[in-house]
Structure 1
Amino acid sequence: MPADADKRDQDLNERIETFIDDLKQGTIQGSFNVAYKTVSLMVRIISQTKWMNANGLKGRSEEGDPQESLHKLLTAEGQIDDFTHPVRDLKATVIEATTELKTELETSGDNIATQSLEHIHSNEVIMTAGKSKTVESFLKDAARKRKFQVIVVECAPFYHGQEFAVSLAKSGIETTVINDSAVFAIMSRVNKVIIGTHTVMANGGLKAINGSHAIALAAKHYSVPLVVCAAVFKLSPEFLCSEDQEAFNKFESPEHVMKFSEGKILSKVQIHNPIFDYVPPELVTMYIFNIGGTAPSYVYRLLSEFYHPDDHLL
C-alpha cells in the first residue's frame, strides 16, 4: 500500500508540474480550456490526496500556499475559524461541488447562446471582431429565427476574422469581412457591436483581442451599443495597472507585421506586436454572462459573489 500511495502522489505531482509548464509555455489555448483543465486538476487533487478536514486541503509549504484560494472558496460560505474540525462526508461534498463547477463550464456557452434572441433583431447589422466561439454560438443561435447581417473585422495581422466569417457564411448568415482601418467608416451603418473577450477585469473593463479598443471608440462615437459575450469564469478580481503591461499583455513575433527578409529595416526599428487591448468599462454597454445580462457597473457585485474578499489579490 505505501508503494501504491507513493506512486499515486508522484503521478499527481507530475500532472501538476506538467500543467504549470503548459500554462507558462502557452500550450493550453483558450480561456475555456485553461479553466476546464484547472477544475479537472482540482478534482484529481481533492480525490487523490489524503485529508480529513478543510485545513488539510491547504498544503502549506515554505514557498507559499498554493491551495489557499481553493481552501477559501470551499470554506467562505460559513464563518468558521477552526478548519481542523472533521466534517462528515466533506470530501464527497467537495468533489460533488467541484464536479458541478465543471458542468457549469461546459454549459456556459450554450447558456449565453440561448439569450441571443433577446438582443439580436431582424434586419440588424451586427459588427464583431476576430474569432470567438462564444460569439459564434451566439450569432448562429439567433440566425435560426432571425435574418441579420454580420460585419467581421479581420483583426490583422493574424486574420482570425476571415476564418470566423467563413464559419458564419456556411451557416447561412450574410457576412462581410472588412479590414481594421475601415471600422470607423462602416460603424455608422452598424446597429450593434458584439464581441468576445479574454478576461473581464474587476472594474468592468476588458482584456480583449487587439483592435477591440479602436472598435469600442468608434462605437462610442456613433452611439452604437457594445455588447460583450463572456462566461463568468472569465471574470477576474484584478485591475489593469498601466505600469504593469507585461503582466497584462502578451506579445507575439512581429514577423506577421514585417517579414524577417527585410533585414536592413528590422535592424533599425523595434516592433511590438501585442495580442490584447484594454477596453475601459465606460466603452462597454452590456455584458451577457451565462447567468444573464449585466452592466459593467455591476461587475463588482459579481466579484463579491464568486470571489472571497481575501482572494482579490491572486
Structure 2
Amino acid sequence: MSNQQDILSSVIQSVRLDDANDTLIILDQTLLPNEKVFLALQEMKDIWDAIYHLRVRGAPAIGIAAGYGVYLGTKQSRAETYDDLYADFLKVKEYLASSRPTAVNLFWALDRMESRLKRETGKPVDEVKAALLEESEMIRSEDEQICKSIGEFALSLLKPGMGLLTHCNAGTIATAKYGTALAPMYLGQERGYDFKVYADETRPLLQGARLTAWELKEAGVDVTLICDNMASIVMKEGKIQAVLVGCDRVAKNGDTANKIGTSGVAILAKHYGIPFYVCAPLSTIDLNCKHGDDIHIELRPSEEITTKFYAKPQAPEGVQTYNPCFDVTDHSLITAIITENGIAYAPFEESLPVMFKHDK
C-alpha cells in the first residue's frame, strides 16, 4: 500500500545523525500534531534537554539518541590517547544518563557504547571514534529489525477486524521504524487486517492524542481517539478484543513500568477478560530488577497538569500536584510479554530469561 509506505518513510527518521556536521537531528515530538519540526542539536546540554523534556521520547528512540549523543560528545574530545578519550567519554555518559532515570534504554545504550569503547582498548583515538560511530549506527539499524520482529509475533496473536486499544505512544516515531505496540497495527494495515484502533489520549502530556492518533491517521489506520477515562466503556461495549502497550522497563518477575495510566488499563482489561499484551524489546527487560517496587518512578513538573496545554490555568494557583511519569503494571495483569525473540508467558521469571538465550 503506497500510502503506508509513504508515511513510514516520512516518520522513521525521528532520530538521525548528521555526522558530517556533528549534529543530532530529532523530530520535536512536543510540537506534534500541529507542527512537524526537526531540531539540529550539537551541544550536549541541548541533547540532554531534548531527552529530559520529551522532545525525543519512546524507549527505543531515547536509546538511539543516547548512542548518537555519547558518540558526538566523545567525537568532540581533543584527547590524544585512548585513556584520555575514555575519561572524556565517561563524563559525557554520566551527564546524559542523568536526563531520564526511569528509561532503561538510555542506560542500556550508554553501557553498550562503553562496552564497544572497551573493546577498542589501546587503539588510536581516530579508530576508537570510528568504532563508536559504527556502534551507534548499529543501535539504530538493529532497533528497526527488532520492531519488525515484535510486530510479527504480536500479529500472530491477533485476528483481522479486531478492536485494539493502546495507551501512550509506542509507534514508529518512538523507535527506528514500525514501533513496538503499534508495529502489528502497521503490519496489519499492510496486510488488510482492518483493525479498529482506540487510542487513549494519555494525560497529562497527551502522547496518545498528539502522537499515536496523528501517526495512525496519517497511515490510513482506522483510529478513534478516546479520553483515558473512556477505556472502561469501550471495553464493556465489546469494542476491544486486545490491548497492546509498550514499556520503559520490565522487571524479572514481569512487572512493567510504562506511561502513567497503563496499570489502570490493565486492571480494566482483566475485569473484562481482554488480553493485555506488553510489547517489550529485550533492551527494556532488566533481569537485575527483581520486581516493580525496585523501579524508580520519575516525578514530573506540576505545570504539566495545571498549565501546559491551556491558554489559561486549569487549576487553582499554587495547588499541590502529584505527577508521576510512570506506573507499574503488576505481572498478574499481563497476558504475555512480546519480545523480538518470541512471546513470554507467566511465570515470567522462567520465560523472560529464555528470550535472551536466542541471542547467544
Change in 2 beyond 3 A, CA 1:243/1:292: closer
Change in 2 beyond 3 A, CA 1:179/1:168: same
Counterpart of 1:211 in structure 2 is 261
| CA distance in structure 1 between the aligned counterparts of 2:157 and 2:251, rounded to whole angstroms | 23
Counterpart of 1:299 in structure 2 is 352
| CA distance in structure 1 between the aligned counterparts of 2:89 and 2:202, rounded to whole angstroms | 45
Shift of residue 121, structure 1, vs aligned partner = 0.8
| CA distance in structure 1 between the aligned counterparts of 2:113 and 2:169, rounded to whole angstroms | 35
Counterpart of 1:11 in structure 2 is none
What TM-score, normalized by structure 1, do the two folds share?
A: 0.67
| CA distance in structure 1 between the aligned counterparts of 2:343 and 2:201, rounded to whole angstroms | 27
In the alignment, structure 1 residue 124 sits paired with structure 2 residue 124: no
Cα-Cα RMSD: 4.5
In the alignment, structure 1 residue 137 sits paired with structure 2 residue 137: no
Shift of residue 211, structure 1, vs aligned partner = 1.4
| CA distance in structure 2 between the aligned counterparts of 1:109 and 1:57, rounded to whole angstroms | 33
Counterpart of 1:181 in structure 2 is 229
Contact persistence 2:248–2:257 (CA under 8 A): yes
Q: What amino acid is the match of 1:29? A: R
How many residues of Structure 1 are paired with residues of Structure 2 in the alignment?
283
What TM-score, normalized by structure 2, do the two folds share?
A: 0.60
| CA distance in structure 2 between the aligned counterparts of 1:105 and 1:128, rounded to whole angstroms | 21
* 5+ residue gaps, structure 2: 1-41, 96-109, 172-178
Change in 2 beyond 3 A, CA 1:183/1:257: farther
SS for the counterpart of 1:213 is helix
Structure 1 window deviating more from structure 2 (91-100 vs 213-222): it is 91-100
Q: Give me the identity figure in percent.
A: 17
| Bigger Rg, structure 1 or 2 | 1
Contact persistence 1:150–1:175 (CA under 8 A): yes
Deviation track 1:32-60 (CA, whole Å, cap 9, x = no partner) reads 332112222455548976566xx888649
Counterpart of 1:151 in structure 2 is 198
Structure 1 window deviating more from structure 2 (91-100 vs 130-139): it is 91-100
Deviation track 1:143-184 (CA, whole Å, cap 9, x = no partner) reads 222123222222234443334335434544333333222322
| CA distance in structure 1 between the aligned counterparts of 2:67 and 2:89, rounded to whole angstroms | 22
Counterpart of 2:333 in structure 1 is 283
Q: What amino acid is the match of 1:204? A: G
Counterpart of 2:39 in structure 1 is none
SS for the counterpart of 2:324 is coil
| CA distance in structure 2 between the aligned counterparts of 1:180 and 1:62, rounded to whole angstroms | 41
2:250 to 185, 197, 200: 200
Counterpart of 1:112 in structure 2 is 150
